[in-house]
Each structure stands twice: as C-alpha cells, then as structure tokens.
Amino acid sequence: MVGGAVAVYLVMAACSAGSGGTSSNAGGSSSGTASSSSGSSKGDGSGSLIDALTDPVGEAQAGLPPITATEMCGHTYAPSAGTTCFYAEHAFPGYTVAQLAFVVADAHMTATAMANGAGPTGYADSLVTPYVRDGYAAVFCGCTASGFDQVTFYLPQ
C-alpha cells in the first residue's frame, strides 16, 4: 500500500517537473508545499482528488481548531419496504468531496446499544467513516432506534 502511494507521488513529481510545474508556498518562496501543473493542491476544489489525498495536510494552519459540529441521528431513509434507517448529516457549504475526505466522525452510542453489548464495556463512542458529497457529510446510525444517537463531525482547517 505504501509502495503504491510512493509510486503515485513519484509519477506526479516527475510529471510536474517535466511540464514546468513549480513549488511555492503561500508566501511565494520556492520552498514550500508542492503544487502540480494539473491544478491546485490547496483543497479549494480546483485540483484533483489525487492532489488532496497525496497532501493530507495541504494548507491547514497549525494550531487552528477543527470545524466541529454535533448532529442528532434524526434523518431517515427506507432501504427496503418496512425498514427505516437513521443517519446524521451536517452541511459544509462550499466544501468539495476532496476537502470533505478529511472529515472525522465520532458516533455516540445510545444507552440501549451499550447495554446490549454494541461496543466494549466503557466505550460509548466510535470513530466511523462518513459518507461525503459536495457540501455534506453523513454517518449511518443504524436501522433501529437503539444504535447511535448523535455524531460529532470534525473537519481540519
């Protein structure tokens, strides 16, 4: 897995160097975050998903707290007749899928789920992978009222 990521990075670096791409940081000096000639790696939506995934820190500012939002598992959908499932969703207006790829979600289990052994004793929270689309992140909470009750979303700045 790491070898594949290194190979992608090397290919991207070679293509960037061969096509006149430059490296610069926000201050304009030549030593900083690399940007490819195919677009920006700022996470502003003008680059590619590969750019965002190969530069997970991007231009995040050190010391800034993440954008944090807690949502209840109050949205529903019916995957089949007679089944109702719940999910939590948070709107991140203006953010692309590439930017939302870095959202971390902490899902909190209900007391009923804990009593039924849904997780190890004493662990009421679970880090889960959210679903993302442009402007939104969502977490599946379960198809019963005794799954997760709320989700806190964290988006690094």
Residue 153 has pLDDT above 90, yes or no: yes
Task: Please indicate, yes or no, whether residues 141 and 89 belong to a single structural domain of this protein.
Answer: yes
Task: Please indicate, yes or no, whether residues 116 and 41 belong to a single structural domain of this protein.
Answer: no
Task: Please indicate, yes or no, whether residues 48 and 75 belong to a single structural domain of this protein.
Answer: no
Please name which of 39, 37, 46, 40 lies closest in space to residue 19, comparing C-alpha atoms: 37
Number of domains in the chain: 2
pLDDT score for 22: 39
What pTM, to 2 d.p., does this model score?
0.60
Task: Please indicate, yes or no, whether residues 81 and 151 belong to a single structural domain of this protein.
Answer: yes
- Among the ranges 54-58, 126-130, 143-147, which has the highest mean pLDDT value? 126-130
pLDDT score for 78: 92
86: in domain: yes
State the CB neighbour count (10 A cutoff) for residue 111.
10
SS3 at position 36: strand
62: in domain: no
Task: Please indicate, yes or no, whether residues 49 and 72 belong to a single structural domain of this protein.
Answer: no
Summarised one tens digit per residue, pLDDT across range 137-150 is: 999 999 976 789 99
Strands 75-80 and 83-91: antiparallel
Task: Please indicate, yes or no, whether residues 108 and 134 belong to a single structural domain of this protein.
Answer: yes
Residues in CB range of 127: below 8 A, 6 or more apart: 104, 105, 106, 107
Residue 35 has pLDDT above 50, yes or no: no
Summarised one tens digit per residue, pLDDT across range 78-95 is: 999 889 999 999 999 999
Task: Please indicate, yes or no, whether residues 44 and 108 belong to a single structural domain of this protein.
Answer: no
Domain containing 25 equals: 2-54
47: in domain: yes
Residue 30 has pLDDT above 50, yes or no: no
Among candidate residues 31, 54, 77, the one where a domain is terminated: 54
pLDDT score for 147: 87
Residue 100 has pLDDT above 50, yes or no: yes
Q: Mean pLDDT, to the nearest integer, of 115-128? A: 86
Please name which of 16, 8, 11 lies closest in space to residue 33, comparing C-alpha atoms: 16
d(CA 52, CA 40): 9
116: in domain: yes
**Residue 112 pLDDT grade (very low, low, confident, very high; cuts 50, 70, 90):** confident
Residue 56 has pLDDT above 70, yes or no: no
Residue 151 has pLDDT above 50, yes or no: yes
72: in domain: yes
